[in-house]
Structure 1
């Protein structure tokens, strides 16, 4: 296998892992319909809490971060491929993101937590940095990862650190969403998701620092692709070992800080912005741990053969992401089967595993017959509408 093909296999498999873990997490939280079933035995309630905590420890804020990192990788692969032909990919990329925004809005009809719309808008941050030197891009990414809005909030809180803060604004939106997700018709869900739900998600993304972290991850993914970090080589094996060590060394104190923050900083005005920073950095560090472990495992032939099972799902990530929203919300929401009423985290985890396996098998079958997933093929064709036939050939990126 050529280094280029091995790189794409690793990227595809890692993206597939991210999609599968997103599937598990979304099932556990009933696709944002928060509800604890009544009448369960105490042992099952205890098991549900363990499953919930474990799933959010492993995947919460990490799977989407991997997805964002690989979005930046894909951007670089497309940008560099067109640059090699003497083309500027950036105007076409703007059109491509408008199409992704349309896909995201369609997905948002069913699932208010859709990330495609956020990615489509925030990906435009890649345009002004696409031709900058690595050092400049890294500096911009690190500045965004520092969570500047949280630092501003912290400085504003210092004159009265013990002041009581109102609840985050997003909470009210999500509280209203629970009613129409549980009891509304399909049209109630569509209307609520595109109005109340979409605004709530944007506010929550601001409050948690994701609006800064996502474009930073895009840039870091672009830099990783520039340096060929997803190519299988001895140099990259050493790189991922160093990355793993540094990420673990960062994660341990950040986890302790995040866990004890309430005791160490009782003043709410100071604690809340510090919590945003600490949680963001902790999840980022653990994401690097996961990516490094995955990349190192991929360097071993036996492990790589197993991990390549995720690759079909990664190659059809757009189709897979939208499909899981359609199926999952129909299973759990009130307009569908209403399983939110009777399923706790443990049962939802089993459902999520079954759906992920089924989706993976479906993607593998599809790619044995077609080059791309249905939404990927549509996205590619419309992206290159009006371009010469040679430019429309679908590269595996």
Structure 2
């Protein structure tokens, strides 16, 4: 395999994109109180309307897209780590499987707090078949990625109604347990029915297929040097993907087809990535990008930290703000959490090269 990228160092733009993606995920999850719904009854009408507009805006911009960017970068990082070791003569098949098992364990910890929004477990599962593609050429890798991004299972489900959205039962069980306010019972429910529901949802809605495809394309972005191109390249790609996204959005409105919506989200994700890279390479010294790079370098710690902090803020076993604050105030809280996490990340990197969970993951990966 000749990818032309052997020995590449850390790419700051990737850290910035990853920081942006998990920031967007934080905003999306906070807008619906981490799936603990509640509308403050005492809010004035104008605030309720503003909450609805803000929530719709956030979902339009980020829903189905932030996680796509996150998955793409996951595939890129895997290829980067794989290439570094394989260039030293290591095969890495079993080591990477062990690493994915560790990621699944991190996912179970995250799911204990927020089972309905954990992607780490099914990311670990989806990466296992991708590991066996580590030696294939770029054309094969693109073909496999393209196949899964076509959402074949989603089309079969749309045509033949293969699934009955049975994951809803598990989410209902989680919601009923959550309302009791018992932390221990909530954790038990989350790591049992919650994990089952999340995996079933990811499978039935095509998110697993999408993750598989994005992992493959993410590996290609590493092999082809996608993140270190000229600014003009990202400008062209932004315009092309924007036109495609508009056309797909019109088709979605006209047809109301769920697989088409996933194509729209995917195209919008491509547009978002290229737009951000275009802006980044035009203004990479700006303070915002500096903070996003710091936040993205500690992505695993900060992602799981979001679940721990925000479920404590919104859920009945914590401060129970989910029934007190609306979308606007929830976003204010989310921004405060984001700022605190960035400050912590900046402080941590003064003394360490990796975030705490990143360091633990690395050490356990290479344990003999």
TM-score w.r.t. the length of structure 2 is 0.93
Q: Name the counterpart of 2:57.
A: 54
CA, structure 1 residues 382+20, in 2 after alignment: closer, same or farther (shift >3 Å)? same
Match of 2:73 in 1: 70
**Structure 2, unpaired ranges of 5+:** 1-6
1:116 to 2:130 alignment: no
Cα distance in 2 for residues equivalent to 1:172 and 1:285: 31
Does residue 315 in structure 1 map to residue 297 in structure 2? yes
| Deviation (angstroms), 1:305 | 5.2
Counterparts of 1:78-227 in structure 2, within 5 Å, are 78-112=81-115, 113-156=117-160, 168-227=165-224
Where structure 1 has 5 or more consecutive residues not aligned to the other structure, the ranges are 158-164, 263-273, 387-397
1:261 equivalent in structure 2: 255
Once the two structures are superposed, residues 165-222 of structure 1 have per-residue CA deviations (whole angstroms, 9 ceiling, x without a partner) of: 9962222322332222232311111111112211221222123210100011111110
- Counterpart mapping for 1:265-284 below 5 A: 274-275=257-258, 277-284=259-266
Cα RMSD over matched residues?
A: 1.9
Post-superposition offset of 1:301 = 4.1
Distance (whole Å) between structure 2 residues aligned to residue 28 and residue 154 of structure 1: 29
CA–CA distance in structure 1, aligned partners of residues 333 and 288 of structure 2: 22
* SS, match of residue 183 in structure 1: coil
The answer to whether the 8 A contact 1:78-1:89 is kept is no
The alignment's TM-score, normalised by the length of structure 1, stands at 0.87
CA contact (8 A) 1:79 1:90 kept: no
User: Quick check: 1:208–1:280 contact (8 Å CA) kept in 2?
Assistant: no
Q: Report what 1:266 is aligned to.
A: none
Match of 2:332 in 1: 350
Question: Helix, strand or coil for the counterpart of 1:184?
Answer: coil
**Where does 1:222-237 land on structure 2 (aligned, <5 Å)?**
222-231=219-228, 233-234=229-230, 237=231
Seen in structure 2, the aligned counterparts of structure 1 residues 305 and 377 have a Cα distance that, compared at 3 Å, is same
Report the alpha carbon displacement of residue 72 of structure 1 after superposing the two structures with TM.
0.7
The answer to whether 1:372 aligns with 2:343 is: no
CA distance in 1, matches of 2:40, 2:173: 19
Distance in 1 of aligned mates of 2:252 and 2:315: 33
What residue is the counterpart of 2:244 in the other structure?
Answer: 250
Q: Give the length in aligned residue pairs.
A: 361
Larger CA deviation: 31-40 vs 344-353: 31-40
Max Rg structure: 1
Q: Take 1:151 and 1:333, find their aligned partners in 2: how far apart are those partners? A: 36
